[in-house]
Structure formats: C-alpha cells, structure tokens
Amino acid sequence: LAKTTQPISMDSYEGQEVNITCSHNNIATNDYITWYQQFPSQGPRFIIQGYKTKVTNEVASLFIPADRKSSTLSLPRVSLSDTAVYYCLVEGGSARQLTFGSGTQLTVLP
C-alpha cells in the first residue's frame, strides 16, 4: 500500500514561493505522482502530475528525485487565493489503493 505522508499545515505570505513535500516510500514502478488542490465545499482539482525529474506547468512545478520516494510541489509567488488543502496521490499499483492522504492545509497570509 503506497501511503503518502505530508505536513499537516503550512503558512506562507503573499508573494513567497511555497514548497510542499510528500513522502511515498512504497511507490510502485509504474506509478505517477499527482497533486490536487481542494477549496472548502469543492471537489479536488488537478494541479500537476509527474513520473520523474521535473515537471512545470502554468501554475506549479513538481520535483521528483531519482529514487522517487518523495516529491515536492512548488507554488511560485502565492496569493491569498492559493489558500487550500493540497494532496499528493500515489496509487500504489492498484486502483483499489486510490486513497488520498490527509493533505496539507496551506494558509497564505497577507
């Protein structure tokens, strides 16, 4: 079972870069690492996905070391609207194991 571990909460200020790390020691060979964002009273929303090294899109970057046992979501220059819960998802080789961890509550302060 590919369990993920993330910090429970993080605080940041507007304009700063935020890095959220997820540990997934039992990641399977064919697993991708996917990050989601969730606002209150909404469903999770896909942010970024990667398999190895670095992936960048218009909202975030994802860094994955060679051993793939962790990953880091990087949010450049956060704003108040980035306050949300962030989940990393690693499936662990079976759809039955699609369980999101408790996520990281990011609070962006003015």
Partner 1 sequence: NAGVTQTPKFQVLKTGQSMTLQCAQDMNHNSMYWYRQDPGMGLRLIYYSASEGTTDKGEVPNGYNVSRLNKREFSLRLESAAPSQTSVYFCASSEIRATNQPQHFGDGTRLSIL
Where along the sequence are the contacts to partner 1 (CB under 8 A)? 30-32, 34, 41-46, 49, 51, 87, 91, 95-103
Least CB distance from residue 44 to partner 1, whole Å? 5
Q: How far is the CB of 60 from partner 1 (least distance, A)?
A: 13
d(CA 89, CA 61): 16
Contact criterion met (CB below 8 Å) for 82 and 74: no
Closest approach of partner 1 to the CB of residue 104, in Å: 11
Helix (H, G, I), strand (E, B) or coil at 1: coil
Compute the half-sphere exposure of residue 59: CA atoms within 13 Å on the CB side of its CA.
11
Residue 51: CB atoms within 10 Å = 12
Q: Which is closer to partner 1, CB of 23 or CB of 97?
A: 97
Q: Which is nearer to partner 1, 82 or 91 (CB)?
A: 91
CA dist list (Å): 82 to 39, 68, 73: 9, 26, 13
Residue 13 vs 43, nearer CB to partner 1: 43
Shortest distance in whole angstroms from residue 14 CB to partner 1: 26
